[in-house]
Amino acid sequence: APPPHTTPTKSSHPETMADFAAAPEGDTAKGAKIFKTKCAQCHVTEMAHKQGPGLKGLFGRVSGTTEGFAYSAANKNKGVNWGEETLYDYLLNPKKYIPGTKMVFAGLKKPQDRADLIAYLKESTANA
């Protein structure tokens, strides 16, 4: 008989909390709704700042580097290159991913919600 308690297998990125390779397929329409309810009070997908930085050109950008926004030292010093994998991990628990961040957001616990939001952000923040 198998042992009553098995430990989950480690992802190929031991420092990550969530592995995007195991993420469900994202739905941009659902992601747009999540953005509107969870993110839009502080962020826009354009290059304009509200309480949070503008997200235009997010993918491939390094954390804490957008001109004209006063980032926390933690965000600047983390030096994350934003992409699907890093966002999937970050959006699970922003304060754990970047301790000291000014972003007041508990995170999205459901893998589907994170995948949907990332699909939406990938489309809506692209530098077309």
Contacts of 128 (CB under 8 A, 6+ apart): none
Contacts of 126 (CB under 8 A, 6+ apart): 57, 59
Tokens of 15: 């420092």
> CA–CA separation, 59 vs 48, rounded Å?
16
pLDDT digits (tens, 9 = 90+) for 114-125: 999 999 999 999
> Confidence band (pLDDT; 50, 70, 90) for 3?
very low
**pTM beyond cutoff 0.75:** yes
pLDDT digits (tens, 9 = 90+) for 34-87: 999 999 999 999 989 999 999 999 999 999 999 999 999 999 999 999 999 999
Provide the 3-class DSSP secondary structure of residue 62. Answer: strand
Provide the 3-class DSSP secondary structure of residue 14. Answer: coil
* pLDDT score, position 10: 39
Q: Are 103 and 94 in contact (CB under 8 A)?
A: yes
